């Protein structure tokens, strides 16, 4: 079709250098929790890129001067509303030797945030810019939101979804998928479980109640009773529900019967489970332990990092139009994509929960996230810009110009 030719030519004109340069600028701009302005210098880069292409741009303050930045490319006529998203924060550089070099080595662009997920943000913006600067007349609109605080609890996306700033018919979150299409991930729950006993001198342990021994019994139950139950629950893309005891603290000195012991627990849950059912299971473990140890004193509380924002599982709704469009675009510019479940949680869960069909699709490799030698393939970056461009054109391009 003649229309296909126009699209292809437009997307071919997206230059490697444009995507690489913008990614480098972003990687060279620290945006982690220990950086003075957190992700706000990164937000300025996103803002100026959106302004340059003629978007309406606004900030939405989330907390302490930290703000989401949102730009909208408005079409000439009514039509589908596409929402593109990337989080602007990264994890701290940790032990990385040169986290902000953004140097290119062996076909990869290196540095903190290259894969997770500044490369995707750059590719999305370059795609929007290429279309904004062309003669193509869009229908509907394309919104981009750079969100804050994804790495520290997702307050940015929660704030955006609580507002009516972005109304959309479908969404793509550019978290690393190696350009496969992510349609599901697990939810997260974090709990602190504390046993309280009675302190006593270690020479007279029978006078006290040992909180560590009580915790040991509880841990054994989590391992022996809960874990096998969770392993029965499976999802075709996500595997099983899991539980991990991540920390343990208790006691003061060898010669004191410990009064308190606490563990923190990470529980990854599947669609079909709920926060309530998860808590109920832990309560049942405690109850069954108390049958044997009547003096067991246990409290269970949610950790605020996870409890403050809904951290449920993500499951893209059925066979949505965006899935077909995205799969075709990836196939055209890179490879035949697989439909995958993701090992990590994303802001996409909050967008899908709002009723907006959402996919996770980004050029980074999931195994690069948070590593000390984080990098992204340059050819994937360029392919991603063309893929996002193709998706914009297929959804919001002029009628009659679709394949
Ligand atoms: Zn990420």
Give the helix/strand (H/E) hosting 23.
helix 16-27
Give the pLDDT score at 403: 41
pLDDT tens per residue, range 32-79: 999 999 999 999 999 999 999 999 999 999 998 899 999 999 999 999
The Å distance, Cα 117 to ligand 1 centre, comes to: 6
Give the pLDDT score at 67: 97
The Å distance, Cα 338 to ligand 1 centre, comes to: 20
Give the helix/strand (H/E) hosting 352.
helix 348-353
The Å distance, Cα 345 to ligand 1 centre, comes to: 8
Give the pLDDT score at 291: 80
Look up tokens 């230059």; give the residue. 15
User: Can you name the residues that pair with 273 across neighbouring β-strands?
Assistant: 271
Give the pLDDT score at 154: 94
- Considering only 2-6, 133-137, 211-215, 389-393, which range has the smallest mean pLDDT? 2-6
Q: What whole-number distance in Å separates Cα of residue 340 and Cα of residue 185?
A: 9
pLDDT tens per residue, range 159-206: 999 999 999 999 999 999 999 999 999 999 999 999 999 999 999 999
Neighbours of ion ligand 1 (CB under 5 A): 116-117, 175
Question: Does 400 score more than 70 pLDDT?
Answer: no
Question: Does 320 score more than 90 pLDDT?
Answer: no
Q: Contact, 357 vs 171, CB < 8 A?
A: yes
* Cα maximum dimension of the chain: 89
Question: Does 334 score more than 70 pLDDT?
Answer: yes
Average pLDDT (393-399) is: 88
Question: Does 401 score more than 80 pLDDT?
Answer: no
pLDDT tens per residue, range 356-379: 999 999 999 999 989 999 999 999
Give the pLDDT score at 4: 59
Give the pLDDT score at 71: 98
Q: Contact, 177 vs 346, CB < 8 A?
A: no
The Å distance, Cα 262 to ligand 1 centre, comes to: 30
Packing angle, helices 119-132 and 40-52, rounded to 10: 20
């Amino acid at each position: 079709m003649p229309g296909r030719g126009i699209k292809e030519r437009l997307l071919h004109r997206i230059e490697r250098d444009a995507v690489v340069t913008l990614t480098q600028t972003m990687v060279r701009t620290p945006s982690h929790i220990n950086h003075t302005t957190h992700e706000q210098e990164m937000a300025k880069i996103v803002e100026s890129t959106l302004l340059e292409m003629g978007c309406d741009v606004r900030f939405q303050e989330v907390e302490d001067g930290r703000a989401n930045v949102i730009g909208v490319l408005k079409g000439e006529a009514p039509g589908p509303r596409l929402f593109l998203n990337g989080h602007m924060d990264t994890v701290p550089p940790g032990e990385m030797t040169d986290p902000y070099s953004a140097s290119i080595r062996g076909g990869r662009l290196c540095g903190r945030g290259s894969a997770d997920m500044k490369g995707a943000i750059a590719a999305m913006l370059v795609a929007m810019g290429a279309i904004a600067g062309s003669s193509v007349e869009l229908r509907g609109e394309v919104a981009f939101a750079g969100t804050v605080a994804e790495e520290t609890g997702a307050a940015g996306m929660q704030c955006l979804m609580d507002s009516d700033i972005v109304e959309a018919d479908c969404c793509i979150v550019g978290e690393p998928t190696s350009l496969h299409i992510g349609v599901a991930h697990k939810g997260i729950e974090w709990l602190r479980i504390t046993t309280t006993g009675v302190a006593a001198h270690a020479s007279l342990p029978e006078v006290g109640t040992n909180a560590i021994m009580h915790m040991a019994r509880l841990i054994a139950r989590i391992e022996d009773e809960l874990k096998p139950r969770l392993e029965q629950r499976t999802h075709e893309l996500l595997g099983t529900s899991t539980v991990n005891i991540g920390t343990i603290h208790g006691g003061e000195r060898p010669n004191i019967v410990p009064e308190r012991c606490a563990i923190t627990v990470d529980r990854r849950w599947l669609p079909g489970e709920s926060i309530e059912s998860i808590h109920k299971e832990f309560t049942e473990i405690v109850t069954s332990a108390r049958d044997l140890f009547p003096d067991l004193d246990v409290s269970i509380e949610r950790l605020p990092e996870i409890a403050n924002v809904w951290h449920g599982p993500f499951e893209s709704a059925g066979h949505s139009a965006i899935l077909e469009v995205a799969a075709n675009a990836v196939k055209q510019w890179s490879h035949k994509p697989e439909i995958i479940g993701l090992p990590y949680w994303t802001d996409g869960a909050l967008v899908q929960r709002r009723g907006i069909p959402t996919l996770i699709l980004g050029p980074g490799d999931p195994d690069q996230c948070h590593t000390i030698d984080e990098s992204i393939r340059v050819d994937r970056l360029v392919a991603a810009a063309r893929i996002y461009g193709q998706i914009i054109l297929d959804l919001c391009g002029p009628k009659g110009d679709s394949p």
